[in-house]
A and B are shown apart, each in its own frame.
Chain A
Amino acid sequence: MTDRPEPAEVPLVFAATTRLRRLALVAALSVVGAVMTAHGELLALAAIPLVLLAAHPRSRLPTRAEVAVRLDPMRCVEGDELLLELDVRVPGAHRVDAQLVVPDHTAMTRVGRAAAGSGTTATWLLAPQRWGRQRIGPLRLQVVAAGGLYAAPVSLEVAEVIVFPAAAALARAVAPRELAAPLGEHPSRAVGSGVEFAGVRPYQPGDRRRDVDWRTSARHGGLFVRQYSAERAFDLVLVLDTSADAGEIGGSSLDLTVRAATGLATTYLRAHDRVGLVTFGGPLRWLTPATGPRQLYRVSEAVMTVRPDESERDAGAVRFGLADLPRSMLPGRAFVCVVTPLLDDRPLDAVRLLLDRGFAPLVVDVLTSEPSLPVPAWPRRLRRRRMRAPDDLALRTWRMQREALTGERASRGGPVVPWDGEGDLTGALLHVMRSQTPAVRT
């Protein structure tokens, strides 16, 4: 929990409420009615609003409110809960109402309030359901004073929270057999000083005595020593297609793309591998492969920016593609994973380029939904039943186009793995890593 901030003094500017006007109206009507009809008892009707108006003079209105808002934590993962606390103290207030404005797809629950004298502490629980930089607030307060005759609005800015995408679950970090980078955790084909058994060979002068396999030596009548696999690191480059965001919010193609990227990066960085990131489709951005917890933070920050902001959308299509990527971004023997919704030819061009450079990328298809057709009004709906509507034709054409894209990709020798955000990618990764031999790089 962060330290409690000092309460800020907010000036209150009051305005008359509807209650004041209504009471004045009833009082005026009653006094005029009593005078015009010369019935004194009708003044009893006027007495109630008059006393209420006289009992709450404007001069007794509070001038300032002490307010403190705190939100904890300021960074979270999708679905995590944030605690928002509001301390408000207004001596002489009749009532204080609060309305918190939260972004779309953020669940809000009022936990409760603890009143203490003229002050109170109100608490809300917020659960952002979508990744990104979310602006919480403003928190709109309505300070009602003088028995409800006056009200002062107060608007408080709360904070901007960073909601990281939830990482997709991967069972384990699998790696190809051919690994170049030294000092890792993946056993490779090369013989070295790892812990995984690789085989036995005849003893040679200089071998360590503790490596002697006595059982094999006894069986063959000569000395044999055990060999172990060398443990190497692995370079993973994630190529994200951010050109389109299709599907329901929360499970859209871009949501699945960032979740897959975060999950893969988390898994491999925990295994002390090097992970790099490239985004194309929108602005071309890259992150050089590196290892360590700091790289995980960099990757998380980078995937937060894949959703184009307004200025980038206004700027239109970006003409830079993967061909403009520095060669150092894709180190030798790196494994490339392209995450794309496969909605146009650009991902295929990217894969073609990677193949030309000697990589065998795995393509993860993250499109889980089809375009929704507009529902026509009922007279048109009847007509649509009689003859095949052009919408259906468009949908069928779209399906055929996607099948052609997937087929073209498959014909080049690489699988396209559909992923809906729930499945495990380990099997697909293992299949591609073990079955394909990287071509000669140019």
Chain B
Amino acid sequence: MAALGWRAAAVVAVAATVAVAAPPDLRRPVLTAAATTVLVALAAVVTRSRLLGTLTLASTAATVLLAAALDASTTRPAQVVAAGVLLLAVLGALEHAEAGTGAGTVLRATPVRRHGPAVLAVGASCLVAATAAQDVVPSVGLVLAGLVTAVGALLVTTRAHRDEPVRDVRESLSGRVPQRPER
């Protein structure tokens, strides 16, 4: 029963994300994307395929982006943040729906450690949405600052998940570059 519940929760979360992001007057591309997303979500929870699950998540995110891009004037920052939170819910529900029933959890981190980063991420999302909603005069400095922030965030994220820690250039070359023999 628990597995069925998680499957239903995944589909409901996908539908809710699409519904939250959709503008008041639905356009055909958004409607098509939303319907496709829900269908893919249904296929994912029925087959419990990880590939279809990933496709569901990508399709949901793409539908939110499409809806916001096509009707930017009616999209409110709160809608984007809510869609982001619901995307997290979709991610969690899909993981539970895809998990097998054989293993049981014997150790779990404290609730603060488990949910703290997610709360922090939602806070950061709110901050970004609020900043984007400000009426500011575009300037070169502002654009540069935005670019630097975005590139910095991407760099930090990718560095955090490298396979090996970045070492000094000389250290990384040692052993691979032939050394001159000492006299």
Q: Which residues of A contact B (CB under 8 A)?
A: 16, 18-23, 25-27, 29-31, 33-34, 37, 39-45, 47-59, 86, 88, 90, 93-99, 110, 113, 115, 118-120, 122, 140, 142, 147-149
Q: Given the complex, which residues of A lie within 8 Å of B108, measured CB to CB? A: 94-96, 115
Question: Could you name 13 residue pairs across A and B whose Cβ atoms are closer than 8 Å?
Answer: A19-B95, A26-B57, A27-B157, A29-B61, A29-B65, A33-B62, A41-B133, A45-B84, A48-B84, A51-B120, A97-B105, A120-B107, A142-B103
B53/A93 in contact, CB under 8 A = no
A97/B160 in contact, CB under 8 A = no
Nearest B-chain residue to A26, judged by Cβ? B61
Q: Is B4 an interface residue (CB 8 A)?
A: no
Nearest A-chain residue to B51, judged by Cβ? A18
Q: Given the complex, which residues of A lie within 8 Å of B80, measured CB to CB? A: 41-42, 44-45
Q: Given the complex, which residues of A lie within 8 Å of B124, measured CB to CB? A: 47-48, 50-51
B57/A25 in contact, CB under 8 A = yes
A86 vs B105: C-alpha distance in the bound complex, in angstroms? 12
B160/A59 in contact, CB under 8 A = yes
A94/B109 in contact, CB under 8 A = yes
B58/A52 in contact, CB under 8 A = no
8 A Cβ contacts from B80-108 to A: 80-81, 83-85, 87-88, 91, 95, 98, 102-108
B75/A47 in contact, CB under 8 A = no
| Chain B window 130-150, contacts with chain A (Cβ cutoff 8 Å), 1 for yes, 0 for no | 011100000000000010001
A408 vs B26: C-alpha distance in the bound complex, in angstroms? 89
A72 vs B113: C-alpha distance in the bound complex, in angstroms? 35
Q: Given the complex, which residues of A lie within 8 Å of B107, measured CB to CB? A: 88, 90, 93, 95-96, 113, 115, 118-120
A21 vs B157: C-alpha distance in the bound complex, in angstroms? 13
B50/A18 in contact, CB under 8 A = yes
B125/A39 in contact, CB under 8 A = no
B102/A41 in contact, CB under 8 A = no
B106/A44 in contact, CB under 8 A = no
Residues A22 and B91 in contact in the complex (CB < 8 Å), given A41-B80, A55-B121, A88-B107: yes
Q: Which residues of B contact A (CB under 8 A)?
A: 50, 53-54, 57-58, 61-62, 64-65, 68-69, 72, 75, 77, 80-81, 83-85, 87-88, 91, 95, 98, 102-109, 113-114, 117-118, 120-122, 124-129, 131-133, 146, 150, 153-154, 156-157, 159-163, 165
Nearest B-chain residue to A58, judged by Cβ? B161
Q: Is the interface of B mostly helix, strand, loop or mixed?
A: helix
A31 vs B65: C-alpha distance in the bound complex, in angstroms? 10
Nearest B-chain residue to A35, judged by Cβ? B150
Nearest B-chain residue to A113, judged by Cβ? B106
Q: Given the complex, which residues of A lie within 8 Å of B98, measured CB to CB? A: 18
Q: Given the complex, which residues of A lie within 8 Å of B103, measured CB to CB? A: 97-99, 140, 142
B106/A88 in contact, CB under 8 A = yes
Q: Given the complex, which residues of B lie within 8 Å of A55, measured CB to CB? A: 117, 120-121
CB distance from B95 to the nearest CB of A (A): 6
B118/A52 in contact, CB under 8 A = yes
Pick the 7 closest A-B CB pairs, nearest first. Answer: A57-B160, A51-B121, A44-B129, A96-B107, A33-B65, A41-B132, A122-B106
Residue among A19, A30, A93, A142 making CB contact with B91, cutoff 8 Å: A19
Q: Given the complex, which residues of A lie within 8 Å of B85, measured CB to CB? A: 48
CB distance from B129 to the nearest CB of A (A): 4
A49 vs B60: C-alpha distance in the bound complex, in angstroms? 14
Q: Given the complex, which residues of A lie within 8 Å of B68, measured CB to CB? A: 37, 39, 41-42
A95/B105 in contact, CB under 8 A = yes
Q: Given the complex, which residues of A lie within 8 Å of B81, measured CB to CB? A: 44
Q: Given the complex, which residues of B lie within 8 Å of A53, measured CB to CB? A: 157, 160-161
A95/B109 in contact, CB under 8 A = yes
Q: Given the complex, which residues of B lie within 8 Å of A44, measured CB to CB? A: 77, 80-81, 84, 125-126, 128-129, 132
A88 vs B121: C-alpha distance in the bound complex, in angstroms? 30
Q: Given the complex, which residues of A lie within 8 Å of B157, measured CB to CB? A: 27, 50, 53-54
Nearest B-chain residue to A150, judged by Cβ? B161
- Given A47-B125, A93-B107, A96-B108, 18 more pairs with CB closer than 8 A: A19-B95, A22-B57, A23-B91, A25-B58, A41-B129, A41-B133, A42-B80, A44-B128, A47-B128, A51-B117, A51-B124, A58-B162, A95-B108, A96-B106, A97-B105, A98-B104, A98-B106, A113-B106
A147/B117 in contact, CB under 8 A = yes
A120 vs B84: C-alpha distance in the bound complex, in angstroms? 34
CB distance from A111 to the nearest CB of B (A): 11
CB distance from A367 to the nearest CB of B (A): 37
B58/A29 in contact, CB under 8 A = yes
Nearest B-chain residue to A39, judged by Cβ? B72
